[in-house]
Amino acid sequence: MINSFRWYGHNDPVTLQDIREVPGIQGIVTAVYDVPVGEAWPLEKVLKLKEDVEAGGLEISTIESIPVHEDIKLGRENRDELIENYKESIRNVGKAGIPVVCYNFMPVFDWTRSDLEHPLPDGSTSLAFLKEDIEKMDPLTGELSLPGWDSSYTVESMKAVFEAYEEVDEEQLWENLEYFIKAIMPTAEEAGVKMAIHPDDPPYSIFGLPRIITNKAAVERFLDIYDSEYNGITMCVGSYASDPANDALEIMEYAIGRNRINFMHTRNVAVGDWGFQEVAHLSEAGAIDMNAVIKLLVDHDWVGPLRSDHGRRIWGDQTVTPGYGLYDRALGATYFNGLYEANMAAAGKVAKFGTKQVNK
Ligand SMILES: [Mn+2]
């Protein structure tokens, strides 16, 4: 396991030096942020990103993410050109020696929450998805704007994209995903880049839009599209567990049994028929047995990147990017180090983090 930490580039108030001081962090999860969605990432930009991270004493373990253009998801006529650009980005990531790319295939909205500062009993706040609040929202009025929603959409363009999805049901979206996967995978294999699809977040339909990467059956169907270790998943335990019908550990056991987990996201959630709220990473705080998660990785000698996912806002953290403050993610990262070390020791193996500190 390569314990990793997401970094949003030089505008991120969490610096590479901050991250480097978190014990056991070996990998950076980041992206090229200044190329419009649909265009190819130039090699120079990928190499510059790599140099910047290495100058900070760290290495890129994962690209999160290369966004998939809406026209690919919609299966529009111009998709072949957009897919060629996507393949070029994968090739350039491979040339930079970066082994993993995370992406998702969610229509219109990336992750969605109703509240970014929902209080927890300990006085901290976190991201929440309260169904009764979501049901009152109408993305077509233009009155709402939530993070995770692409702010570049005007009321008119939002209406247009919703109209376009009236022609794309779940089966059609699967077909469009299949077309995309079959087109990019030979390139990913050649480039030595393992692809890792992130589940829909939350893993069910919102605002009538189709959503397909939602449960164990979906993972099975997805992996069967193209049977290669380069065609894998991001096992985001918190996203899968956000649907009370899912058993995230069962999904994980299935995917790791097929050697198709290419990236791990570890966050915990409290879940109910009311929706879900993100909580501290500790198992007892939420629905996920994190020790069982790490034990599965150790049992399978899993060697990929894992990152502590969304944290609560604690200790007066002023970070703007919701869920991506330094403190609670750092607490999560050290918690996962502890679980990893203990599980490795129980299996008669030694956990190595590359952090041995020697004073002169
Ligand atoms: Mn995730």
Catalytic position from the list 12, 69, 118, 198: 198
Separation of CA 7 and ligand 1 centre (Å)? 14
Residue 153 has pLDDT above 70, yes or no: yes
Q: Domain 2-346: which topology?
A: TIM Barrel (3.20.20)
Q: How confident is the model at residue 119 (pLDDT cuts 50, 70, 90)?
A: very high
265 is catalytic: yes
Separation of CA 105 and ligand 1 centre (Å)? 13
Q: 108: phi > 0 → left, psi -120 to 50 → alpha, else beta; which?
A: left
- Between 318 and 128, the more confident residue is 128
Sheet with 268-272, edge to edge strand ranges = 115-119, 125-130, 275-279, 268-272
281 is catalytic: no
Tens digit of each residue's pLDDT (9 = 90 or more) over 28-85: 999 999 999 999 999 999 999 999 999 999 999 999 999 999 999 999 999 999 999 9
* Dist. CA 307–CA 177, nearest whole Å: 26
Whether the model clears a pTM of 0.85, i.e. scores above it, the answer is yes
What's the sign of the alpha-carbon dihedral 21, 27, 30, 32? positive
Tens digit of each residue's pLDDT (9 = 90 or more) over 230-250: 999 999 999 999 999 999 999
Q: 48: phi > 0 → left, psi -120 to 50 → alpha, else beta; which?
A: alpha
**How much is the pLDDT for 147?**
54
Separation of CA 10 and ligand 1 centre (Å)? 22
Mean pLDDT of the chain: 93
Residue 253 has pLDDT above 80, yes or no: yes
Q: How confident is the model at residue 143 (pLDDT cuts 50, 70, 90)?
A: low
**How much is the pLDDT for 355?**
66
**How much is the pLDDT for 321?**
86
**How much is the pLDDT for 183?**
98
309 is catalytic: yes
Separation of CA 77 and ligand 1 centre (Å)? 30
Catalytic position from the list 86, 103, 240, 324: 324
198 is catalytic: yes
Residue 155 has pLDDT above 90, yes or no: no
